[in-house]
Amino acid sequence: MMKKKNSCDSIYECIKNFTENKGHPIKILLGFYKGEMKTLLTSTFFLILQNLPVWVVPVATSNIINIATSPAGHKIPDILINAAIAAVTILQNAYSTYSVSKFYDRLTRKIEFMLRSSIIQKLQQLSMSYHKNVNSGKLQSKIMRDCESIEVLLASAYRHILIIAISITVSITVTVMNSPIVVLFFVLIVPLEVLLLRILRSKITTRNTIFRKEMEKTQSNVSEMIELIPVTRAHGLQQREMRRMDNRLGHVMSAGYSLDKTNSLFGASSYVLMESARLACLVFTGILAFNGKISIGEVVLYQTYFGQLVSCVNTLFSLYPQLTKGIESVNSIGEILYEERVETDNAIIPLSDMKGQVEFSNVHYRYAGSDRWTLEDFTLSVKPGESIAFVGSSGAGKSTILDLLIGFDNPQEGQILIDRVNMLNLDMTEYRNQIAVVPQNTILFSGTIRDNITYGLDHVSDEEVNSVIKSVGLDDLLDLLPNGMNTQLGEHGGKLSGGQRQRVSIARALLRKPKIIIFDEATSALDTASEKKVQAAVDNMMKQCTTFMVAHRLSTVRNVDRIVVLDKGHIVEVGSHDELMAKKGAFYELKKLQE
């Protein structure tokens, strides 16, 4: 287990590395190794030991063949010494392979952890306007698939690139020392391969980007499709949905196929080139041996080294698609880590014990990309403990007011004051710890009913949980469940009805003992009997804190202190239920429509 402090430090370093090297994926990749020099050197030492047989065994083999083919001047122990050296290098491979994994794999897994954790940290900081516009499937793909691609790249690049460099050096050095003319063959191959790489490189990069984007789109469509299954089934649209998904999967298939074709063309061209050169090398060294210029052992040695050179260059080529995929993943993760729509949290003025006074002062708000104000010159002063209901036609701006009050976004003009402090200067965490929100769409997570009610609160006693369960009328349901409040819910609270889920959400809010409570259509999914119970709990709550609610069913707002009637972002009427009914204005008309 990694210690918490180290994890946070690493995540901070990871984000810093991304920000400092913006636009330079290779620098970003190298930056992950910062501060890990000791681990890197230790694992490199074992990596070299691990690969020792590759360089030593061919020399021992060549020596043994030379001794065997020209026994004059040699003894049997000469063969045994060569065999013993080869055997030792082979045997130590088991331990060195394990050690490389022990040191290096821990490092790459840590990098993978850091990447995922820093994305999650950033997602928690990004504003709600960002989250409202981004698809969760796409984010999942970045957290899981892209981080894995980077881990795979770092693991294989390190293992191969260093060894390839050493192998090429050893092969060429040994060959130069024995027969400089054979080196010519080795040297000729490199520029040819580089040429091939340059021709195919841009195609592979483009195809990788296309494939990654197609995968992201598909992932978001898949998650949407799964969420839509009940709607699809209810409207008998399965065939249509399957066709739509097949069409999407078809795009992935063709993008993947194009990528595969380019990759294999790349690999095949490289193979043909290399094997032809190897054959030419065999013919060339065979003729040299035939003419007595080199020994039979040397022919075998050059073939082995040349074979290694071939596989080195081939590995480099096969690494290239992995490298471009990894770089593409660095860019993909950058799309989140560079995102600037972070929620502002100035934390200039401490709020400490909030009273719950709220003032909207000439608030103007428009959504990004919209050319009209959703709220225009909205002014309302609310005393601590007062209860306010926003009513009005659909799209009037009721939920927008609540979003601003939660601090999901800030007004472009005017200000919202909490206990006379501009919200912009508040510590949002401190503020939100003292408010509770019951949203329009209840969001539950897989866990027990108790976990869902106590979400974010530590050390809550069963008595307290039971009390809120009772006040929202969930006790009857819990009596029927074998494990009561410890019953596991399915994903998204799948085992509960809409009304039951809404009551869990209300219980969650009540338990927090907030100073401000916000209900957005909180009783819309309740039947009359449970609504009565919940209404009693809500009425009770209204006496203890400042309450804001949005309600379409006007019968539920009878007990609030003031009703604010909205139309197209403007206040058209404010007053108590009885005052507005007596006035026979907009509220009266709305109420008449519901009777």
Q: Where on the chain is the footprint of ligand ATP (CB under 6 A)?
A: 132, 367, 370, 374, 394-400
Q: What does the buried/exposed string (b/e) look like for 448-461 if buried means 16 or more CB atoms within 10 Å of the residue's CB?
A: ebbebbbbeeeeee
The smaller minimum CB distance to ligand ATP, of residues 146 and 573, is found at 573
Closest separation in Å from C-beta 564 to ligand ATP: 12
End-to-end CA distance of the chain, in Å?
62
**From CA 4, how far away is CA 10, in angstroms rounded?**
10
Residue appearing with tokens 């929202």: 472
Closest separation in Å from C-beta 442 to ligand ATP: 15
Tokens of 507: 């219980």
Supply the DSSP symbol for 374: S
For residue 449, what are the contacts with CB-CB under 8 A and spacing of at least 6?
474, 478, 481, 484, 485, 486, 487, 489, 504
Closest separation in Å from C-beta 378 to ligand ATP: 11
The smaller minimum CB distance to ligand ATP, of residues 374 and 556, is found at 374
Note the maximum CA span of the chain.
124
The smaller minimum CB distance to ligand ATP, of residues 189 and 404, is found at 404
Q: State whether residue 417 is helix, strand or coil.
A: strand
**From CA 439, how far away is CA 528, in angstroms rounded?**
20
User: Phi and psi dihedrals of 369, rounded to 5?
Assistant: 85, -10
Closest separation in Å from C-beta 366 to ligand ATP: 8
The smaller minimum CB distance to ligand ATP, of residues 48 and 572, is found at 572
Contact 281, 182 (CB under 8 A): yes
Sheet holding 421-422, edge to edge: 375-382, 358-365, 413-418, 421-422
- Quick one: 353 exposed, middle or buried, by C-beta within 10 A (0-12, 13-18, 19+)? exposed
Residue appearing with tokens 């370093």: 13
Closest separation in Å from C-beta 396 to ligand ATP: 4
Closest separation in Å from C-beta 324 to ligand ATP: 36
Closest separation in Å from C-beta 519 to ligand ATP: 13
Give the number of residues written for the chain.
595
Contact 516, 546 (CB under 8 A): yes
Query: Between the CA of residue 299 and those of 82, 288, 310, 468, what are the distances in Å?
Result: 18, 9, 16, 86
The smaller minimum CB distance to ligand ATP, of residues 326 and 411, is found at 411
The smaller minimum CB distance to ligand ATP, of residues 367 and 445, is found at 367
Closest separation in Å from C-beta 401 to ligand ATP: 7
User: Phi and psi dihedrals of 567, rounded to 5?
Assistant: -145, 125
Q: Using only C-alpha atoms, what is the Rg of the chain?
A: 35
Residue appearing with tokens 């691990």: 50
The smaller minimum CB distance to ligand ATP, of residues 395 and 490, is found at 395
Closest separation in Å from C-beta 400 to ligand ATP: 3
The smaller minimum CB distance to ligand ATP, of residues 496 and 566, is found at 566
The smaller minimum CB distance to ligand ATP, of residues 25 and 569, is found at 569
Helix residue spans in 179-237 (DSSP H): 180-234
Closest separation in Å from C-beta 389 to ligand ATP: 13
The smaller minimum CB distance to ligand ATP, of residues 323 and 405, is found at 405
SS3 of 17-40: the string is HHHHCCCCHHHHHHHCCCCCHHHH
Closest separation in Å from C-beta 551 to ligand ATP: 10
Q: State whether residue 562 is helix, strand or coil.
A: strand
The smaller minimum CB distance to ligand ATP, of residues 261 and 553, is found at 553
The smaller minimum CB distance to ligand ATP, of residues 212 and 398, is found at 398
Closest separation in Å from C-beta 463 to ligand ATP: 37
- The alpha carbon of 397 is separated from its chain's Cα centroid by a whole number of angstroms, namely 33
Query: Between the CA of residue 33 and those of 6, 41, 154, 442, what are the distances in Å?
Result: 15, 11, 10, 43
